[in-house]
Every structure is written in structure tokens, then in C-alpha cells.
Structure 1
Amino acid sequence: MQTMPALALRGLTVYPKMMVHFDVGREASVKAIEESMSSNQPIFLVAQKDIRVEEPDRNHLFAMGTVSVVRQILRLPGKTIRVMVEGQIRARLHELTQTDPYLVAQVEPVETSEHYEGKTNSLRAEAAIRQAYELFDRYSELSPKNASAEMLMNIMSSEDAGYIADFLAQNVSMRVLDKQSILDELRPVQRLNKMNRLLRREVEILEMEQSIQRRVQENMTQNQKDAFLREQVRVIQEELGEDGDNELAAYRRQIADAKLPEEVETKLLKEVMHLEKQPFGSAEASVLRNYLDVCLELPWTKTSKERVNVQAARKILDADHFGLEKVKERILEFLAVKQLAPDLKGQILCLVGPPGVGKTSIGMSMARALNRKMARISLGGVHDEADIRGHRKTYVGAMPGRIINAVRQAGTRNPLLLLDEIDKLGSDMRGDPAAALLEVLDGEQNSTFRDHFVELPFDLSEVLFITTANTTSTIPKPLLDRMEVIELPSYTDEEKLQIAKQHLLPKQLKRHGLKKNQLKITDDAIREVIVSYTRESGVRVLERELGALCRKVAMGIVSQRYKQAHVTGDTLEEFLGPRKFHPEKNGLENQVGLVNGLAWTSVGGTLLEAEVNVVPGSGKVELTGNLGNVMKESARAAFTYIRSRAVQLGVEPNFYKEKDIHIHFPEGAVPKDGPSAGVTITTAMVSALTGIPVRGDVAMTGEVTLRGRVLPIGGLREKSMAALRNGIHTVIIPKDNESDLEEIDQTVRGALQFIPASHVDQVLANALEHPPLAQPAEDAGEAPLGGPGTSSQASIPRT
């Protein structure tokens, strides 16, 4: 039994009497090599069972290894060393007596050098040796990289079966387990027989690889031969003047029949000539065929006969859409101009409004009214310029851009292209698609639009572009400048009722397989759906709720609970469940420091409550609710205004030193920003500081300055409708927005009381239960605006 340093080998096996070079990188292995050299003692080399293990123990090592001597060490850059070792004898590993800082093994030699070197002259040994000569000779022919003449001579010069087996195992590429099985075998003849079996398997694998390679080469040769013969046939046909009905002739006929512009025809004929010169099966030929197919499918000269009739268009728009009178009027004006000036180009309409108000469907109605083909392009999330302009045809997987694809899909050069969600374009390192649209939507440039794939000017001037967006704030200004914006306002509850009766309900009945007599729903029930189950500017959720109602009725009819359903406002909850919204829930309860503000979003108006609480402190002002910079500045302006007028407002003059003020807008997960919350924050702070409750039936909107002036805001129509939906009776608006009241639906104006205010004092006089001022501002007593007979206590008509 001997104790010596040990080295765990990964993917390598060392045999006795073999000289082997290998690199050592693990720290423990390097230390074992250095210990063996410094102490002039042998080292035990043993293979790992799993090469992925970085710190092997006894269970990770094979039992049989080789006692070796380190002959040479060469240090490489880094911590790696290259060693040359010479195997001595086989040895069996009993245990590892040390694992740190390097492995130390207790081993037992299993054979002496005299036993190993003894010659075996039996017939079996001679037969095994001859078989090894034969197999290795065949292996050398099949794998010249792994065998050399020197190796073959080394084997031929030896008659020791054990040595030949070890030599072959050391130099032939085999799996680690196969190499270890040769090392484990102690009997020389059996070892050589086992090696012969493994070598025969390697030879069969190499023969199979060579056979596969030969067949591949033969197939390639056959393809080259076919291409050569086809080229000969083509040349012979040209010499005989016979241009058969082949692919190239078909392309030439299509180009001639298409009556293309001269520049386009010349370019395509050149591409056909280029295709003609390509060898059979070449990649470039496939690219050229794809290019020719795309170009020939484009409607270079094909147009659809346009129908410009204002009366017919009016009927179609009225049949497809209820309300939206101003939008319809603008579209009819557009058509009237087209009727008088057919050659007028460059008009691009942008329909802007909340989701669900019918922007896309208006575009479809326009296409039907004009008798134009239509193609729809959704731009939401597009962030690659190549989506608009296309890829150059030399790229792998190249294709035309969405504009050219849409024209090809429409099949005419004067279609109506509907560009949906233009406000949701993105941009990244692959370009800005909004910038690419500048050429498409410019009437002075798009007559020669060049797609990167087509590489030819295509006339887009006859295309009618209609774009849609929820808001214009995210559309780049240069792009917005090329479009005429038409705003689609939110629907009133009465408009939603008519839309549901005339359009949505019949559509859902047909979709769910119901007949008109199987579902009877009263107007009151539809109003309840609008008020209690939806809260939106459009009608998309309303349509979804009517679809849910139809499903419930269909289930009842199929299960034979009833043959027809009659839905009223009282029975609606049986079909749609509990009400989701309670418009009168606000209860118009007066509270201290709680104010109803009005906000505009891309999906319509909404009620935004502002809460203010005052606690003893040192004058800190805290803002919460995920507020943007503009709203934070509004809060600071309101705070300064209150400090400047503390005495007149009935606020303690030193409140900014002795009180902490916390301003909060609920639903902190929703980002909030915009220049219309100033009066809301000011009123809430004054109420909290004075203890005077705020009227719960009042909502307000407007920006405030340091001197208390109320500045105008936008989105008054949407904000007023949000107030109506939430049970508000009185809305305080900036005085400069009085002219916007003409844009508000008469139903809303008749249900709400509008109070214009030019100063915060007027806002406080109308919003607080009792004003803190002894005498309100000069204009505070101005008569409120609204329908006849409206007052601060007027109730909302139930819908």
C-alpha cells in the first residue's frame, strides 16, 4: 500500500508505459503536480466519472488508475500548466486521505512491471495481435487525422498483447467508459480482445460517416449536372429562336400586359434578365422571383371607380352611426369638395376620441360611401421603421412595408387606408416609424413614395388616408401637422340608449342566435345597463354587457327555463348580477377636506377626488397619489396663495409653521398629471384648514395661479359628462371656458348647473357650505349657467 498525491482527470485516461501531454487548470490539481515534482515521488492519475464535478471526492473517481511520473512542466499564461507524464503501473484506489489543498490517495499496485512485460506467445494472443494490426490499419485509412505511420510502426514492432491494447486505447478516440474498461482489465489477451471489439465499432462508425459523406457529394454532383444540362437546353433554345412557355417568358408577358410606367417596366425587365443569368437553385434566383411577384401584384395603374355623392354618403353614415353630427358634417364637407374638385389631393383626416366611440367604423363607412377598397393597418406598438418603408430585398426574410402591403391587399391604387392607433407608435434603435410616415402622409411627397423592398416610386397621392388616435399629445408635431384633426366626443346616456337600440342590441341578438321575440328589453333596462354597469365614453363595454345579457337569455332558452325573456330595470340584476356602479353613491355628502375634481384622460372624463388632512407639525407639505410634476406645482401654488390670504380666508396666519398638510389623490397605482387640479387642491386645503365642509354635489376644474386667478382648461365636454355620470349637480369651471359650453350636449347642460369663476374666491364661495369670506368676490354672485330652472339643489334626471 502506497500513499502519494493524486490528480483527477476529466475526459482523459493514462495507461502504463505511455507518455501523455495534458493541461492542468484546477488549483488542487496544480498543487498535486507541484508536490509530486518537489518531493520527487510518483503521482496517481485517475479519471473522473462525471467531468462536470469541480471538487471530486472518492465517489466521483473510478477505482482503477495509473501510478505515473511527472517528466516535464510548462507554465502557460494564467494559472494553467502543461505537464508531460509517463505511466508506470496500474493501481487500485483504496481511499483519499486528503482533499485539501490537493488530493492524496492510498493506492495498491495491482501488477508488477515484470508481469506486465512478460510476452504471451499463445496462439490466442497471436490471433488477437494480428486482428489488432488489421483493424488499426483500416482505422488509419478512415481517420488519417487520428493515426500516423509512426503509430502503426510502434504497434507492428511489439508482440506484447497488453502493451498493444494500452497503446491503442491511449491513441484511439473512444468514450471515457470504454477507455476505463481497458484500464480495468488486467489480463493482457482479454484486454486486447476487448480493445479489438471497441476498435471494430469505431471503424464501423467511420465507415458509416464516410458513406453518408459520399452520398451527399454524389447528390451535389447530380445537382450541378442538372444545372449544367438545363443551361445547355436554354442556350440551344436561344440559338434556335425558341422561347418556350417557360417562367421567364411568363414574367415578360405579365410585364407587357400590365401596362406599367416606363421606369417600372424597364426595372422589372432588367430583373428578369438578371434572373435569366442565375444558375438553377441559386439563392439569388429565389430573391428575384419574390421581388418580381411582389412588384407585379401591385396595382400600378388599376383604380376603382369612386362614387362621390353627398346624399348617398349621408344615408350610409346615418345608417351606421347615431349622433356625431359635427363629425358627419365634416366628412360630408370633405366629400362635397371631392365632388366639385375630383383632383384635389393631400387631405388626411385624423379621427381623435376615446375608445369605443366609433373611429374605426366611421373609416369603414367612408370607404363604403366612396365605393373605395379599404385596408386597415394597426400601428399600435410598431417601433421599426422597416414596418413602414420595408426591408431591402438583399436581407434574409425581406418583405415590403405595411403601406405597400396594404395597397397590394386592396388591389387598387386609390384605396382608403385606415391607419389605426397612430398615437401609439414607438421608436428604438431600428428607427422611428413616425418619421417614416411623414413622407407617406404628405400630399406633396407621397406621389413618389419609395419602399425599400420595391425600390421604385409608387404613387400614393390618390390614396385616402384616415388615421385614428385616442389623443394627439403623443403624436409627433410634424406628423400631426400633416393631418386635419376631427374630434369624436363622448356619447351622452341618451345617445348610448339609441345606439344600443338601433345598432348594438340587434347585432348581439344575431351573434348569439336569438330572435327578436325571444328577448324583450325595456328602455329603462338599457338605461340601467348604461348607468349601473358601464362607466365609459364610448359604447364598447356597453356592447359587452349586452352580449353577456344575450348569453344568459340563450342559456335559459336552451335549458328550457323559459321560451322568451322580458328584461326590465327591476329584473336586470337577475341576468347581469349586482350593479357595478352607483352614480348616486356619492350621496352628495358634505365633508371637510374632500373635493370632487374633474380630469380628462385618453379614455374620456373621470371624477378625481382630492383629500387634504391637517395635523399638528412643523409646516411640512406631503403629496401622495402618484402625481406628476404639473400637479405638484399646482399644489405648491395653492399653498402659497393660501399663505398670502390666510387672514381673509379665516386661516390661522402661522399654519405654515404649526401644521403639516397631507394632500392625497386616491388610487395611487394610477399616474395622475395635468394642469386642471389647482382649484380642487386649493378648495380642499382651505376646507381642511378652516374646518368648513365642502359641498358633495359640487365638482370643479381649473388651474390656479399664485394670485388666485383661475386659468382655462381643456376637455370640458368629457369632464362634464363624467360629472353627470357620478351624480354631480353643480360644476365650477373657469370663466374663460364659457364659450366651450356650446359644445356640450343639451342633455348634459340641462342636467348640470355650470358656475363660471375667474378667481378662487368665487370657487370657495360656491363650493364650501358657508364661504370663509365675509363678502365674496365681485363676480361671485353671477348667475349660474345651465338649463332653465336649474339650481344648486337640482337633482339629476334618472336615466
Structure 2
Amino acid sequence: MRNDSARRGRRERERPRADPREQLEFSGQKCQIVQYPSGLAQSPVTFQEYPVSDSENRLPEAQNPGDGSEKGRSDTRLPVLPLRDVVVYPHMVIPLFVGRERSIDALDAAMSSDKRIILAAQTSAAVDEPEIDDIHHVGTVATILQLLKLPDGTIKVLVEGVSRARLDDIAVDEAGYFVAGHSVPAVSAPSSTEQTELGVLARSVVNQFDQYVKMNRKVPSEVLASIEGVDDPDRLADMVAAQMSLRVEQKQAVLEIFDAGERLEHLLSLMEAELDVLLVEKRIRGRVKQQMEKSQREYYLNEQMKAIQKEMGELDDVPNELEALEKKIEKKGLSKEARKKARGELAKLRMMSPMSAEATVVRNYIDTLVSLPWKKASKLRNTLAEAEAILENDHYGLEKVKERILEYLAVQKRVGHAKGPILCLVGPPGVGKTSLGKSIARATGRRFSRMALGGVRDEAEIRGHRRTYIGSMPGKIVQNLAKVKRRNPLILLDEIDKMSMDFRGDPSSALLEVLDPEQNHTFTDHYLEVEYDLSDVMFVATANTMNIPEPLLDRMEVIRLPGYTEKEKANIAERYLLPRKMIDNGLDESELRVTDEAILEIIRSYTREAGVRNLEREIAKICRKVVREVMELEGEDASSDAVTVDGAAADTSRDAAVDASHVPATDDAAAGDTGTIDAVTADAVVTVASSDDAPAMVTVTEENLEKYLGVLRYRYGRAETESKIGQVTGLAWTQVGGELLSIESAVVPGKGKLSWTGQLGDVMQESIQAAMMVVRSREESLGIDPEFHEKHDIHLHVPEGATPKDGPSAGIGMCTAIVSAVTRVPVRADVAMTGEITLRGEVLPIGGLKEKLLAAQRGGIKVVLVPEENRKDLTEVPDEITEGLDIRPVKWIDEVLEVALGVETSPDAEGAETPVSGSGEKPASSGPGVQTH
């Protein structure tokens, strides 16, 4: 009866069929049912049959099972047939397709006994091999009417439900199929009142089902006639439930209700809900039909219009541009609002003359809408190792930025989707902020777009112009999105601190909506007039200073990029700048070699900057001069086997091995450089070979560097070689990094006047007055004559008078300079200091510590005095900066004077008992210049 290989593992398929009293017909060959239950069919019923001998394929047919009535508990254990996606009710005749081996065994067992079997629905149709817990415990006792084997090995069985029953003690038989006892809860005979209620319920169900049949096209109208002739409420409820389009769970719930009255009430509530759904479906079908008729009518009229225009010669045979535009609107995935707007504009365009000016405006607007990437996005990179390798290869140092980007990628990989961060890279020029934005785009897998904000003062640059203006266009944000053709690019907002405002608006205020994650998903451009989602865009802003409006700054995550150390600059020059400039100037690796000492000398003596932009210019200058040397020497004697210039021996001890595979793209730093080419001397080691040999090699060393770059521009080493009276070395912060700040003080006979020069700001002037009061409060401990200040004038000057200076952190420097001038004690030349001073002589914390320590290191300072409260900030300063510096945190001015002058003083008792806690401050925003913050 079974084909083991064909049937094993095959899914069981159970599909309900129409009641045989209505129709039991299957296409193909026919098989006559041997016997029917009473009242089952009035005409022959046919089945499809595989044409093989009956002895091989046909099981014995069931005999008449009788009335099938069953009350109370039965001790007989019957086989259980689990069903998927079907529920069988009593008095229901239905064909089933059985293919699972366990189910076929259950059918064998039923046929070998009394042809009775329990049909129970599975709790989940997805389970292929159900267990006991996967079967509902209320099912239907059914009688097998006929079995038929199909060519594919499955069994088609015709069953008739007899009664609902509760399954007891479900178990697995030795043969592997389920068996269970069954019981039917006893239901008492209804009273006359209950009988009347049942009649009313039955009539209500029939009337409700009448409405259901009229609205549901899936139920044939003949079914209603058969149901109206049923007097038994129990049977009526089951027949109605079998004909309704219910979910399996709902049908099972009906099966589990044994009381006929409760079942009818439950069916009434189900039909009420189904009728509501059918009413909604009917309204929707009506609207769809009406819309289709309207569309067909419009299409017909448009076709007529085009035919008339073609006859009049207004149209040619080329494809209609408006139709192509309409297809774009439908295919580009516009938002609901944008699609509605585009369709409206297209309808207006159809009615306009192609030659009118308004038609061009409308056409440009629609083109802009469909050119935006509404759905198309780049696949973001999730591999942290690959992203880290890209960042490391493109940029040396900048660990905080790299760490933040890798954190973002890690979160994105974990949650599946993360909003793009809004970063603001703040640092001096030349540290690689713009090129870092490109590297971040590559590392995250986004497309890159740069938006220059320097000098922007019109709000329309951000939000676009309204279409009422002639020549209007969308803002830069929308334009960049249309250019990259992806909805999740990285947009670099370059020089965000250099925006300004005038009567045309404030662009920084317009950026508030763009950079706010809670608002930018509904960004509205004045030109588009529809919302566009910017939440997937990653914004990276760059700035040289924190001179940014506070509301805008609050929406960005600020990452400071301090200046590079000498070691970092040397690595950048060797790994990136030199290889790129050699390629730009046509030099081969075997033609130029620059020693490490020469690169270090360029950094120290020819550049003084926080970044590497000037360093790149100097390297480009060397490359240009070397190219000219090599070309001139090759032209003088191209046939010589080897020529040594001025008798100097050729130096080929080191190859110029460089790697230009990961050179970040920056601006051409060498543009505009001019100079005089010096003659080649013995200091420049050059070897010129014949055309058949290796090309000329030039080695640039520390000794011959002046021949290429000229005399030294800066004096590297100690800021002052000798200790002087009244001259102090302070530390200042500028837009290009830290700088040494010279402070001078002079005392002359006078009337106690205090003056200052050097373009000092208001904060710095007040700091001088506070320092003067500190000196006067310590006259006795410093050994100063009490009448000294009445008979002498004191003047302070900060050199480079053309440069504006401001900030409070030069306070201890001012005080030290005054004390040195008054006491005639020289200040140590190898000491630099920074810190704000209070009237009691306490030293308050400052900002920009790393940049100031870099300046001290470049200037050859040995001892640096910093506020005590900045001690914690030293942990974030790299060791290569602090190496060689004796950094001494100080709390009071007395400690400063002791180190710088060797003068021992003691603070007043009140100040010692109640020290004031200071706080750091930001750079002043008074404009370009030196900030002593």
C-alpha cells in the first residue's frame, strides 16, 4: 500500500472540497462510490483514479457506518489523522489528500477495523511531523467512505464527519500513528423556552447568512436553499460554519463549542464581523472600478486629442516627452506627497503651450523632483577591520576621529540601522579635516559630496529659492543629493565657522533644521515645496575655531583635531606628501632621495604651523628644483657613462622607496610658488647616467637643504638664549595652533602710571591690572619699597604689535614680568608659563593645553608651568609631546615666581585657607589673532 521511497517525508495536503450533495467531480478518469450515507447524494459521484488494477491500488471500501451517533465516553481508541489548514464538522463530507507515512498508517488501521477515524486539526500547519502537543484536543469522529491511491503515492480519502468529540489520552501507537480515546460531553435536552430561543437563533443565523451569501461571491446561492431546509439547530450551525470564509483558528473555535445555542450565537458575531469586512471591500471595489473608468475615459480623450493634434501637424512621430516624464514619476519611488505634487505639475504642463516660459519652469521643477534619490541608497560597509585599514592608510594619527567612526560602524552593524552622526571637526588649517571627510566616506561605504560654506550669507543657499523667482533653483543640500544619486551620502560642510549673515538671511539658522536629527527627516526645500528625508545622510562639518552660533554647535558632536607633532609631520611627509609630489612633478623613485634629517629640518626651520600645508609646499619646491637640475644635467652630457659634479662622490646607499597607494587628495599646495634655481654645488650629490643606464639620482640632506629652500626662515631651539630682566615667555593659542608669546615689562621713574601696548584685548588688559594688584599685595614678601609704585611707571608690551591678542591665560606671565622688572631679577630663558591669575594670586585653569605644549616643544623650552587644575588634561597629551619637557603644575603665583625667578614668597593666610576653584574657558571670539586662553 506504500511506496517507501516516494512517500517518505512527503507533506500531507488536505484541501476541502464541495459537499458531494452539491458536486463531487474530479477531472480525469472516474471511480464510482460504492455506498453513500443516508441522504448523501441523489446522483452518481465521480473521482479521479489512476488506471491500474484494483487489486494493487484500491483498498476495501467502507460499509455504511450507520447514523454515527455517539454520546458519553467511549473506551475504544481510534486512530487520529492530523489535518493541516482544514477543520471537518459533523455531517460534512469532504475529500482529503493524505501523504505522510504516519497518516497513511492511521488510515490502514481504520480500514482494518470499523472504518472510523478521528480528524483533528494541527495547531500549526507549518509542522511537518507533529507531536502530541501540536494537535488540537477537540476533533471530529468521522467515517471513511472511500480510499483511492494516486500515481504520486498519496491517498485520496473521502470522509464524513459523524460527531465532534474531545480527545482523551492521545498516544503514539506501536506502528507510529496517533491513537486516542474520545468523549462527547452530555448535553441536556432543551426546555420549551430554550427550544423557542434556539428557533429564534436559527432564524437569525439563516437571515444573516442570506446577507452574507449575497455579498460574498465565493459562496454559491444554491447553498442557501439547502441550509433553509435544515431544522436541526446543531446541524445548521455546522453547515453555516463550513460555508463561511473563516481562518482555521476561528473554525476550530466553532468546533470546540458543543452547545448548539452557544454555537449559533458565536456564528452570529462572526458573521457580523465578516459582513462589515465585506461592506468595506464592496466600497473599495466600487472606488477602484470608478477610478478605472475615469482613467480609461481620460486615456481615450487624451488619445483623441493627440490624434487631432497630429492631424493638425502640432505633433510628430517622436516619443512623447510627457509620457516619458510620467513614467519617471511612477518609477522613481517618490514619496506620496511628492508624487501627488509631480502629477499635479504634469497635468498643468499638459495644458500649457510648449513655447511658454511657465512650461519651462514647470518642466525644470518636475525634472528636479525625479532626479532626487528617493529610494536608492548605497550599501554601507559593515566590516570594521576594512574600515579601520582605510582610515589608517589614508591618515596618520587622528585617533579620536577614527575611534568615533569605528564606534558608529559597530553600532550600525549591531542594530542593523543607525542614524548618521553629525560630526564637527575643529582644528587648525592643514591638519587634514577635508581629506579626512573623504576617508570617512570611503570607510563607511558612502558617496562623498563637499559643500563649501565659507562666505555664504544667503539662507537660500541652504533652503533654496522659491519658484516665484526667475532663475530659482533648489538649495545646495538638494543639489548635492541629486549629484551623488544616493539618499545616504556623506556631505562635508566645509568651513562652517566662516558663514556670515546679512539682510538676505542667516544661513546658520537654516542649518539648524538640516543638522537636527529630530527635524531633518522632514526637511523642506523652498524650491521643492515637499518634505525630503535627510535622516540617512551623514553630515561632517569642518571649522578652524569654535566661533559657531551656540544653537548650531549644540546639534553637532565636536571632535578637536590638534596640531601634529614633529614625529607625526615627519611620518606624513615620508608616507604621503613626498610620494605624491614626486608623482606630480614626474620624478621616479630612483631620481630623488630626501633623508629623514632633511625632512626634520624642513619641519623645524622652514615651517611653523599646526598642519602640514606649508610642509607640502616646501617639498613641492624641492621636487621642482630637482627636476630642473636633472633635466639640465641630462641635456649637457646625455652620452656620458657617469659624471660626478664638482668631484663629489655619488651616494646611492639608499633607495627612495615610497608608497603612494594611499595618498589622500588635498589641494595643490604648491600652486603659486616661484623662486630662483641655484647652481648645483658639491653639497648636492648628483649622478647622471647615460640613457641606457639608471636615471640621475639627487639626494637632499640637511647640509644642502639651503640650496633648495633658501636661508632658514625660523630659529629652532631656545626661545631666548639668555635670561633677561622683565622678559617672560608665555604660551598662546591661535587658529593655526600654539605659539610662544613674548611678554616684556619696563620700569621708569614716574608717577605710578601703568600702561600697555601690543593690540591687547579687553580681557588681557584686565588681566594686567589684576597682576599689578597681586604684585602690590606682595610688596613686603618680595622686598619692594611701599612707595615704589608712586615714583615709577610700569609699561608692558607684547611684541608683534600688528597681531591682535586677547585672553586671560597670560596673567601669570604678566605678573612674573612685572615682578622681574621691579626686583631686577632676570627670568629664566628656558621657562614658559600659562595660566589665569586672581587677585589673591591663585592660578586658574586654561584651554588649548596640547597646542601650547607643542609650541613649547618646538621652541626648545625645557620647563613649562601650567595650572594645577590642568594636571588631569596631561593624560590626554601624547608622550611624544611631553617628552623632553619638565611640566610643573602650580596652584599659586608664589610657586611660579619661585621657579621662574628663584624668589620665595608665601601667599596670604586668607588665600591659603580658601582657594578658589577655577574653570577652563573657550577661546575668545574677537577675531583672528593670538588667544591666550
TM-score (norm 1): 0.66
Q: CA deviation at 1:278?
A: 2.5
Structure 2 residue aligned with 1:652: 785
Structure 2 match to 1:493 = 566
Aligned to 1:625: 758
In the alignment, which residue of structure 1 is the partner of 2:601?
Answer: 528
CA contact (8 A) 1:422 1:469 kept: yes
Within-5 A mapping of 1:718-757: 718-757=851-890
Cα deviation 1:59-114 (Å, max 9, x = unaligned): xxxxxxxxxxxxxxxxxxxxxxxxxxxxxxxxxxxxxxxxxxxxxxxxxxxxxxxx
1:306/1:370 contact within 8 Å kept: yes
Within 5 A, what are the aligned runs for 1:276-675? 276-345=350-419, 347-472=421-546, 474-560=547-633, 562=686, 563-584=696-717, 586-675=719-808
> 2 CA distance for matches of 1:342 and 1:431?
39
Task: State the shift of 1:547 in Å.
Answer: 0.7
Deviation for aligned residue 1:698: 0.6
- C-alpha distance in structure 1 between counterparts of 2:891 and 2:907, whole Å: 16
Residue type of the partner of 1:555?
A: R
Q: How much does 1:246 deviate?
A: 2.5
1:346 Cα shift?
Answer: 5.1
Correspondence list, 1:36-115, <5 A: none
Shift of 1:587: 4.1
After TM superposition, give the deviation of residue 247 of structure 1 in Å.
2.8
Q: Rg: which structure is higher?
A: 2
Displacement of 1:376 in angstroms is 0.5
Q: In 2 relative to 1, CA 608–587 (structure 1 residues): closer, same or farther, beyond 3 Å?
A: closer
- For 2:716, give the aligned amino acid: P
**1:236 Cα shift?**
2.3
Counterpart-to-counterpart distance in 1, 2:345 and 2:734? 53
The secondary structure found in structure 2 opposite 1:609 is strand
CA contact (8 A) 2:894 2:907 kept: no
CA distance in 2 between partners of 1:313 and 1:774 (Å): 57
- Whether 1:268 and 2:342 are equivalent positions in the alignment is yes
- 1: distance between equivalents of 2:841 and 2:721? 27
RMSD value over aligned CA atoms? 2.2
CA distance in 1, matches of 2:837, 2:322: 75
Q: CA deviation at 1:286?
A: 1.9
Give unpaired runs (5+ residues) of structure 1: 1-231, 780-799
Give the superposition deviation at 1:592: 0.7
Q: Which stretch shows the higher mean deviation, 419-428 or 248-257?
A: 248-257
Deviates more, 1:501-510 or 1:236-245: 236-245
Question: Is residue 650–residue 772 contact of structure 1 (8 Å, CA) maintained in 2?
Answer: no
**CA pair 742-702 structure 1, distance change in 2 beyond 3 A:** same
Q: 1:253: how far off?
A: 2.0
- The percent of aligned pairs where both chains have the same amino acid is 52
Q: In 2, are the aligned partners of 1:492 and 1:745 still within 8 Å (CA)? A: no
Aligned mates of 1:379, 1:659 — CA distance in 2: 53
Separation of aligned partners in 1, 2:701 and 2:340 = 71
Whether the 8 Å contact between 1:723 and 1:731 is mirrored in structure 2 is: yes
SS in 2 for 1:684: helix
- The structure-2 alpha-carbon separation of the partners of 1:553 and 1:263, relative to structure 1 and needing over 3 Å to count, comes to same
Amino acid at match of 2:813: T
SS where residue 883 of structure 2 aligns? Answer: helix
Deviates more, 1:232-241 or 1:675-684: 232-241
Alignment partner of 1:460: what SS? coil
Partner Cα distance (1:243, 1:735) in 2: 85
Q: 1:771 to 1:292 in 2, by over 3 A?
A: same
Q: Contact 2:396–2:571 (CA<8 Å) still a contact in 1?
A: yes
Q: Which amino acid aligns with 1:301?
A: K
- Aligned equivalent of 1:691: 824
Query: SS at 1:351's partner residue?
Result: strand
Q: CA deviation at 1:658?
A: 1.3
1:587 to 1:656, Cα distance in 2 relative to 1, 3 A: closer
Instruction: After superposition, give the CA deviation of every residue in 1:15-65 in whole Å (9 maximum; x if it has no partner).
Output: xxxxxxxxxxxxxxxxxxxxxxxxxxxxxxxxxxxxxxxxxxxxxxxxxxx
Distance in 1 of aligned mates of 2:846 and 2:590: 49
Shift of 1:312: 0.4
Q: Does the aligned pair in 2 maintain the 1:650–1:773 contact within 8 Å?
A: no
Name the stretch that deviates more: 750-759 or 290-299: 290-299
| Conserved? CA contact 1:588–1:728, under 8 Å | no
Secondary structure of the 1:615 match is strand
CA deviation map 1:146-188 (0-9, x unaligned): xxxxxxxxxxxxxxxxxxxxxxxxxxxxxxxxxxxxxxxxxxx
Give the aligned residue type for 2:348: H
Q: Tell me how far 1:773 sits from its aligned partner.
A: 3.5
- Render the CA deviation track for 1:295-341: whole Å, top value 9, x for unaligned: 12111111111112110011101111112223222221121111112
**2:308 is equivalent to residue 236 of structure 1:** yes
Compared with structure 1, are the counterparts of its residues 540 and 766 closer, same or farther at alpha carbon in structure 2 (3 Å cutoff)?
same
Number of matched residues?
Answer: 546
Amino acid at match of 1:651: I
Q: 1:237·1:243 contact (CA, 8 Å) conserved in 2?
A: no
Superposed displacement of residue 355, structure 1: 1.2
Contact 1:346 1:442 (8 Å CA) reproduced = no
Normalising by structure 2, we get a TM-score of 0.57
Task: Provide the secondary structure at the position in 2 that maps to 1:586.
Answer: coil
Check if 1:679 corresponds to 2:812: yes
Cα distance in 1 between the residues matched to 2:818 and 2:416: 60
User: Offset at 1:687?
Assistant: 0.6
* Structure 1 position 242, deviation (Å): 9.6
| SS state at 2:781 partner | coil
- Contact 1:621/1:662 (8 A) holds in 2: yes
Partner Cα distance (2:519, 2:311) in 1: 47
Cα offsets for 1:763-794 (capped at 9, x unmatched)? 011011x3164999999xxxxxxxxxxxxxxx
Tell me, in whole angstroms, the C-alpha distance in 2 between the residues paired with 1:650 and 1:512.
66
CA distance in 1, matches of 2:778, 2:563: 39
CA–CA separation in structure 1 for the residues paired with 2:371 and 2:337: 17
Is contact 1:448-1:458 (8 Å) kept?
yes
Encode CA deviations 1:125-161: one digit per residue, 9 max, x unaligned: xxxxxxxxxxxxxxxxxxxxxxxxxxxxxxxxxxxxx
- C-alpha distance in 2 between matches for 1:586 and 1:259: 65
**Per-residue deviation, 1:372:** 1.0
Q: Indicate the SS of the match to 1:286.
A: helix
Distance change (3 Å), C-alpha of 1:235 and 1:692: farther
In the alignment, residue 489 of structure 2 is paired with which amino acid? P
CA distance in structure 2 between the partners assigned to 1:319 and 1:463 by the alignment: 25
Q: Secondary structure at the match of 1:427?
A: coil
The 2-side partners of 1:558 and 1:649 are apart by 69
Take 1:654 and 1:346, find their aligned partners in 2: how far apart are those partners? Answer: 67
1:680, 1:342 → 2: CA distance?
55
- After superposition, what is the alpha-carbon deviation per residue over 1:489-508, rounded to whole angstroms, capped at 9, x for unaligned? 22110111111111111111
* Structure 1 consecutive aligned stretches of length 4 or more whose deviation exceeds 3 Å: 232-235, 237-244, 772-779
**Structure 2 residue runs without a partner (length 5+):** 1-303, 634-679, 681-685, 687-695, 913-933
